[in-house]
Structure 1
Amino acid sequence: MATPEECRAALEQLSRSMATAEGNVRSAAAVDRSLSCRLTDLDLTFTGVLRDGRIQEVAQHPGAPAAKADIRLTMTGDDLVALVGGRLNFAGAWASGRVRLEAGFRDLLRLRTLL
């Protein structure tokens, strides 16, 4: 099972990857939205803000998110690490229910480029 530290490192890696992206991926990440990533197996949530193509203001909280973020992800810590590491395909994980993504319709359209 992934540790909270490994999950934070995966989110930091995702943020770095988004910051160095170009073209459609860069513009898709250049939104200003609140973000939460609930890790069910660790009973913890990371929150932050997707701004200027990066995940900023990352904080860790026990349990479920206290507030509803604009973009909400739910998965296990192992799946987060595997997704960021390229060992798990997002579309397949989402279709099978391993990863849950909730966001407004416009955000979903914009995020499809990232996924």
Structure 2
Amino acid sequence: MFKKDEILRHATMLGQDIQALDSIKRYRQIEAQIHLHPEIAKQMDALKQNQKHSVNLQNYNKPIAYERSEKTISHIQNEINAFPIVMQFRQSQEEANDTLHLIIETLATRLQGADCFSGSIQQKEE
């Protein structure tokens, strides 16, 4: 039987190991580059403003203006998606997600078959 603090210690170690994986490092590096890219930041600000505006138009029942706003949003999204760094980000995000799903599936399979969790987890009393 495992104690709560033992499980937390192992979970922390697993988190550190996951952060050290190449696919996760690559994702985080590209994400940081995107946040520092001035043109992407400008486009993201415009996108957020237009999305807020679009919600207001929808709430005030302005269908024609809402349609125009949605087209503008789509255009801005396409411009953002055209940046090579954004394409790299999406690819690295997919790879990182695949890695995390594999880890979760492996853990779930192993934990379901393990006898160590058939009882309750003891909490260390202090």
| Same fold per superposition (TM over 0.5) | no
The TM-score with structure 1 as length reference comes to: 0.26
Q: Which structure dedicates a bigger proportion of its chain to strand?
A: 1
Higher-RCO chain (CA-CA 8 Å, sequence separation at least 6): 2
